[in-house]
Structure 1
Amino acid sequence: MTTDPTTRQHAFTPGELDGDRLALYRSITEGPRAKGPRLFALVSDDGVLQGPFNEFLLRPALGDALQRLGAAVRYEGALSGRSREMAILVVAAHWDSAFERTAHEAVGRAAGLTEAELAAIAAGAPLDLDDPVEAAVLRLARALAAGDVDDATWAACVPPLDRETVFEVTTLVGYYATLALQMRAFRV
């Protein structure tokens, strides 16, 4: 295990992994994130996990729980791709998380977000969306990132969102805020 002093990151290469760390590495690199189009690099040229995933290997039991939650949020939720990526990008903008912004802008483009929409989300600017569900997800995610969902925001978002969707959005925002915090602490 090598430590990069500029990032505080412990760069685990595949050759040094065994046991729970190797199992977690394989779960991340062979699971749903590795399927389909690769819109951002999951591993570096030397096999080190990118973004938040390398640090998951520090405590494999916790890292596995986090990666399973992230996979559920991204691949098993009911949000549309556009709505999901808007909410993720709100968190990336709020925490100034470069990895999440870069990775999820690519995913957002593939889900149909325009350059103007991506720019507005990154800037926290108003965004006029025709779809009332997308507009509510964006408003709710911004409120959550800011720290609370006041009564006016709740009334504007529920409906068109139902409580199940609010639960999904709060889980998504909480998960990506956790990743942003970890990447900030480890200077990833």
Structure 2
Amino acid sequence: MPPDIRPGDGMTGEPRLRRLSPTELDDGQRAVYDAVAGGRRARGPQVFPLVDDDGGLVGPFNAFLLQPRLGFALQALGAAVRYETALTDRAREIAILVTAVAADAAFEWYAHEALGRHVGLTADELTALRTGSFDALADETERVVAATVHALCVRGDLDDDEYRRATGALGEPGVFELLTLAGYYLTLALQLRVFRVS
């Protein structure tokens, strides 16, 4: 069963990156900062902060400033998997939350639990996702999304039955979207863990 993660779990030690202030950014870093803090994420529901009280980027985004060309591309991919897929809002948040549990990514859980509640996930559904009880989800497509992402995160593959079930529910384009979303959030989970971001 997936772990029962809480903010701060899965990591030991102090944060390894200093949070950069907006006043010390070069032009490339500023482009990344503006894309995150002033882009589509900032226009959506603000259920968790993108910046701290001093204006520094929180969560995974501060690390994006280390290498602005890659950070800019990564934030653009994140915006695409959040806003440009055919997945419903609920299915997207289910996929992200399942990834967060499998990767023991406490910050991802914290941020996307709030977004999940915003798009209608109930406390019971969140508990089901946290504990791997995907059959508790009422919607078949959402059950498929959860089980597919779990398999991807745990085994890095789908067997033939899982692939048929996923393509039957989502189509091949939808499976591609789900693969990309899971890969993106697994990448963030790795960065959050290594840089000790809580």
TM-score range, shorter chain: over 0.9
Q: CA deviation at 1:125?
A: 2.4
**3-state SS of paired residue (2:53):** coil
Compute the RMSD of aligned alpha carbons.
Answer: 1.2
Q: Paired residues, what number?
A: 184
Alignment of 1:18 with 2:20, yes or no, is no
The answer to whether the 8 A contact 1:121-1:127 is kept is no
Return the alpha-carbon distance in structure 2 between the equivalents of residues 21 and 113 of structure 1: 35
TM-score for the superposition, normalised by structure 2: 0.89
Aligned twin of 2:102:
94
Which stretches in structure 1 are left out of the alignment for 5+ residues? none
Report which stretch shifted further, 51-60 or 18-27: 18-27
Q: Residues 161-176 of structure 1 correspond to what in structure 2 (within 5 A)?
A: 161-176=170-185
Return the alpha-carbon distance in structure 2 between the equivalents of residues 175 and 36 of structure 1: 20
Report which stretch shifted further, 36-45 or 148-157: 148-157
Q: CA deviation at 1:11?
A: 1.1
Larger RCO (CA within 8 A; separation ≥ 6): 2
Aligned twin of 1:70:
78
Letter in 2 for 1:22: R
**Deviation by residue 1:88-144 (Cα, 9 ceiling, x = unmatched):** 001100111111101000100111111111111112224333322212111111111
Aligned twin of 1:29:
37
Q: CA deviation at 1:19?
A: 1.0
Spell out structure 1 runs of 4+ moving beyond 2 A: 125-132, 155-158
Return the alpha-carbon distance in structure 1 between the equivalents of residues 171 and 134 of structure 2: 23
Return the alpha-carbon distance in structure 2 between the equivalents of residues 71 and 128 of structure 1: 29
Equivalent residue for 1:144, pick from 136, 140, 152 = 152
Q: Percent identity?
A: 52
The answer to whether the 8 A contact 2:125-2:137 is kept is no
The answer to whether the 8 A contact 2:94-2:116 is kept is yes
The answer to whether the 8 A contact 2:52-2:58 is kept is yes
